[in-house]
Amino acid sequence: MVSIKNKVPRRVPIILAVLLSGWLVVSFESTDHERWKSPAGDLDLHPQLNCEQCHQPAAGTTRQQFQANLKHWLGTREHGVDWMTRAISNSDCLDCHRNSEDPHAPHLFLEPKFEETRNEIHPEVCTSCHAEHDGAISITGNTYCFHCHENIDLANDPAQPSHLYLVQNKEWDSCLRCHDYHGNHADKTPRNLTDAPALLRIEEYLEGKSDSPHGNIKIPYLETRGAPR
């Protein structure tokens, strides 16, 4: 026979564990604490946004999603479906970042002539460069311009050194010192490399360690999605 004395101490840890997990589940579901679930927490590019601004509910009920994925796993359905939240796509970003004059708007690179570059760096997808939960403005480095601008040679080139010189000497890390990839910022393109921000400044910026060296934002980024265009 087990005495009451022995039972109590044995149950205490179990009860505590149940209470603790209950508290954790409740806390995790409350929006106050949602940042706990972010893979990076304060490293995020958008620490001020609620998760749902990007992670929107997937189509169908949880049961339908479960059944579809189970069938896919069993081989009786060709494709699986999104589970809980939809996969992030360009439109999730473009609802707030609306720059109609972006010379590198991703949709431009769906043309067949960019197929090789698409396979290498995926310029047609925002998230191939911007790593939300790694806190990096760009994980694609700063020399990939060569994929598409290898033949640049301007008549009456205003740049010093000239583009022809930079390309011939493969100085591809110079490009982002003068140029702003999407033209999001107000500063004018410098003509002389000595007037441009230092390479280290650009690298720190791309790693998410400092603000843009190309000046203030030209077209405001929206704080909430879906406001009229």
Binding residue (CB under 6 A) for ligand HEC from 71, 72, 147, 201: 147
Site for ligand HEC in 95-114 (CB under 6 A): 95-97, 103-104, 106, 108-109, 114
Partnered with residue 160 across adjacent β-strands are 192
Partnered with residue 36 across adjacent β-strands are none
Taking the least distance from each CB to ligand HEC, the nearer of 67 and 99 is 99
Using alpha carbons, select from 202, 199, 208, 201 the residue that is nearest to residue 136: 208
Site for ligand HEC in 75-94 (CB under 6 A): 87-88, 90, 92-94
* Torsions phi, psi for 12 (to 5 deg): -55, -50
Taking the least distance from each CB to ligand HEC, the nearer of 68 and 126 is 126
Q: Round to whole Å and give the CA distance between 193 and 41.
A: 37
Q: Round to whole Å and give the CA distance between 21 and 27.
A: 10
Site for ligand HEC in 1-20 (CB under 6 A): none
Q: Which stretch binds ligand HEC (CB under 6 A): 21-29, 57-65, 71-79, 144-152?
A: 144-152
Instruction: Tell me 88's DSSP state.
Output: P
Residue 197 found at the interface with ligand HEC (CB under 6 A): no
**SS3 assignment, position 98:** coil
Residue 221 identity: Y
Which segments of 71-124 are extended strands (E)?
A: none
Q: Which stretch binds ligand HEC (CB under 6 A): 13-21, 24-32, 48-56, 75-83?
A: 48-56
Residue 225 found at the interface with ligand HEC (CB under 6 A): yes
Residue 68 found at the interface with ligand HEC (CB under 6 A): no
